[in-house]
């Protein structure tokens, strides 16, 4: 939403939309005192090429562009005696929400967040990091079958970022065959909360109200993007709120967030490994996937689980790793303008009939990945993004379990419910499809 009364026509939103994201949804209209900000061509934003990354709102110095606030919906459900409200938090939320309460940048407040959610009235508290571990199991399985068995084209491109998925569907539809079919981690947890969890706990899934707390504005649209987002028979995630909305809710609730003691999450859909944690930073999905892909291909864990080539804020990171005598070439891009050069390389190699320049590509729409997400606390700079990322890497480094395939609750989920990675049930609940949206022009 744009409140023109607060807008000082500084143009930061336009700069980030056009230059950093290469989306060109926003533009200056008119001249002189009549100048205003709007969707290019003065069309409705919903009809513009906007991919809902929210970088305009993250960069606006006056709060003139903001996400649609859905916290009231959550409060209403929390007061409904017939609703069984459950929540999940994304990796990047835990190292950013503290900025709204005076904690140092990168302070990891996972236990306080779980505790605050229970005080608000949530009956179960899950963690999207669990969904990240699950994404890795499904995605590494998909990668192995493309790489080793030739089932599908290479490179495989990650799809856990809905801003990137929207961008690809609008501008790069020819890349669809390269896309992983995996849903994003919170969508997986949503589907499992209304199937696996409901069955295990004997709760009517119709009563479960799943709230995702995300660093992201694009996830608000993702939860209704296609029928696969209702794979449980209900809308899998009922509402997605940003870190900023969540921080306001904590303040509204009167909880003393600074002193509240840590609590654990509910383990069935909550326990996670370090691999799930680093999903919140650019390169983290690739690093987590490589840890498990290495195991799936060789049958043994990698001698070193840290793949440093994936780390840092360089716009496009390229490198290779050796796995069982094979060289796997990777690329990691963040900030949508940076993605174009990776896509151009893939297209050029295809057109020339050459070998693919990469086997595996990670893309995150926001600069820095989700730590710099459009729904995070305001004022993101590279220093801030690096500090938040350090909070995630610290947790991963200190974890006993750092590979998704070692998560005992993931093993239990497959044993009790899904059967095996890429099984029919896993495909139905955890995977999705994509479509070309040809009407969008920049």
Residues 6+ apart with CB under 8 A from 442: 22, 23, 24, 49, 171
Binding of ligand SF4 by 218 (CB under 6 A): yes
Smallest separation, CB 332 to ligand SF4 (Å)? 12
Binding of ligand SF4 by 11 (CB under 6 A): yes
Identified catalytic residue from 70, 73, 228, 253: 228
| Footprint of ligand SF4 on 350-379 (CB under 6 A) | 364-366, 369-370, 373-374
Binding of ligand SF4 by 278 (CB under 6 A): no
Which residue's CB is nearer to ligand SF4, number 68 or number 200? 68
Provide the 3-class DSSP secondary structure of residue 297.
Answer: helix
Which residue's CB is nearer to ligand SF4, number 275 or number 321? 275
Binding of ligand SF4 by 66 (CB under 6 A): no
Identified catalytic residue from 112, 144, 170, 219: 219
Binding of ligand SF4 by 107 (CB under 6 A): no
Alpha helices in 150-206 (DSSP H): 162-171, 185-192, 198-201
Exactly one of 65, 97, 154, 361 binds ligand SF4 (CB under 6 A); that residue is 65
Exactly one of 10, 45, 83, 302 binds ligand SF4 (CB under 6 A); that residue is 10
Binding of ligand SF4 by 223 (CB under 6 A): no
What span, in angstroms and rounded, lies between the C-alpha atoms of 416 and 337?
Answer: 43
Q: How far is CA 380 from CA 85, 90, 367, in A?
A: 31, 18, 9
Element (H, E) at 296: helix 284-298
Binding of ligand SF4 by 201 (CB under 6 A): no
Which residue's CB is nearer to ligand SF4, number 92 or number 323? 92
Binding of ligand SF4 by 161 (CB under 6 A): yes
Binding of ligand SF4 by 216 (CB under 6 A): yes
Binding of ligand SF4 by 9 (CB under 6 A): yes
Binding of ligand SF4 by 284 (CB under 6 A): no
Backbone φ and ψ for 94, nearest 5 degrees, come out as -65, -25
Residue 345 tokens read as 């390389």
Of residues 307, 408, 298, 397, the one with CA closest to residue 360: 307
HSE toward the beta carbon, residue 237, CA cutoff 13 A: 32
Binding of ligand SF4 by 62 (CB under 6 A): yes
DSSP 195-220: IIIHHHHT--GGGEEEEEEES-STHH
Strand positions, DSSP E, 316-431:
316-323, 326-334, 360-364
Identified catalytic residue from 99, 138, 139, 395: 139
Binding of ligand SF4 by 19 (CB under 6 A): no
Binding of ligand SF4 by 335 (CB under 6 A): no
The residue written with tokens 């970022």 in the block is 161
The verdict on whether omega for the bond into residue 237 sits within 30 degrees of 0, i.e. cis, is no
Exactly one of 215, 283, 284, 335 binds ligand SF4 (CB under 6 A); that residue is 215
Residue nearest ligand SF4 by beta-carbon distance: 373
Residue 88 tokens read as 């999940």
Smallest separation, CB 320 to ligand SF4 (Å)? 24
439 catalytically annotated: no
Binding of ligand SF4 by 163 (CB under 6 A): yes
Alpha helices in 212-283 (DSSP H): 219-222, 243-253, 274-277
**Which of 57-65, 69-77, 197-205, 244-252 is the region at the interface with ligand SF4 (rule: CB under 6 A)?**
57-65
Cα angle at 99 between 96 and 105, to 5 degrees?
70
Of residues 308, 304, 258, the one with CA closest to residue 278: 308
138 catalytically annotated: no
Residue 32 region by backbone torsions, left for phi larger than 0, else alpha for psi between -120 and 50, else beta: left
318 catalytically annotated: no
Exactly one of 17, 25, 37, 330 binds ligand SF4 (CB under 6 A); that residue is 37
Which residue's CB is nearer to ligand SF4, number 216 or number 361? 216
Which residues of the chain form contacts with ligand SF4 (CB under 6 A)? Answer: 2, 7-13, 37, 53, 59-60, 62, 64-65, 161-163, 215-216, 218, 364-366, 369-370, 373-374
**Which residues does the annotation mark as catalytic?**
139, 142, 160, 180, 219, 222, 228, 370
């Amino acid at each position: 939403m744009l409140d023109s009364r607060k807008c000082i026509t500084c143009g930061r939103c336009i700069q980030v939309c056009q230059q950093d994201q290469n989306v060109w949804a926003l533009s200056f209209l008119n001249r002189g005192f009549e100048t205003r900000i709007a969707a290019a061509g003065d069309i409705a934003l919903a009809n513009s090429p906007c991919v809902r990354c929210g970088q305009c709102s993250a960069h606006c110095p006056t709060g003139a562009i903001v996400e649609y606030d859905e916290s009231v919906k959550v409060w209403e459900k929390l007061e409904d005696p017939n609703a069984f409200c459950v929540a999940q938090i994304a990796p990047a939320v835990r190292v950013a929400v503290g900025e709204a309460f005076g904690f140092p940048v990168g302070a990891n407040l996972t236990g306080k967040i779980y505790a605050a959610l229970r005080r608000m009235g949530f009956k179960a508290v899950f963690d999207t990091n669990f969904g990240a571990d699950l994404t890795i199991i499904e995605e590494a399985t998909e990668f192995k079958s493309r790489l080793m068995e030739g089932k599908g084209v290479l490179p495989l491109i990650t799809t856990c970022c809905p801003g990137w998925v929207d961008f690809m569907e609008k501008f790069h539809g020819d890349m669809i065959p390269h896309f992983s079919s995996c849903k994003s981690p919170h969508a997986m947890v949503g589907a499992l909360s209304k199937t696996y969890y409901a069955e295990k706990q004997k709760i009517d899934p119709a009563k479960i109200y799943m709230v995702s707390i995300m660093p992201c504005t694009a996830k608000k649209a993702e939860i209704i993007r296609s029928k696969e987002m209702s794979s449980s028979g209900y809308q899998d995630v009922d509402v997605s709120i940003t870190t900023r909305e969540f921080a306001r809710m904590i303040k509204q609730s009167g909880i003393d967030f600074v002193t509240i003691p840590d609590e654990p999450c509910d383990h069935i859909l909550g326990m996670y490994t370090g691999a799930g944690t680093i999903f919140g930073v650019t390169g983290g999905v690739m690093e987590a996937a490589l840890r498990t892909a290495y195991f799936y291909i060789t049958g043994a864990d990698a001698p070193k689980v840290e793949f440093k080539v994936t780390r840092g804020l360089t716009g496009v990171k390229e490198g290779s790793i050796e796995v069982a005598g094979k060289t796997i070439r990777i690329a990691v891009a963040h900030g949508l303008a940076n993605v174009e050069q990776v896509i151009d390389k893939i297209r050029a190699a295809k057109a020339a009939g050459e070998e693919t320049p990469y086997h595996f590509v990670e893309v995150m729409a926001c600069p820095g990945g989700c730590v710099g997400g459009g729904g995070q606390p305001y004022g993101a700079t590279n220093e801030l993004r690096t500090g938040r990322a350090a909070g995630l890497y610290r947790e991963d480094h200190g974890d006993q379990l750092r590979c998704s395939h070692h998560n005992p609750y993931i093993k239990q989920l497959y044993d009790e419910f899904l059967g095996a990675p890429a099984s029919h049930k896993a495909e139905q609940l955890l995977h999705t499809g994509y479509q070309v949206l040809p009407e969008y022009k920049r």
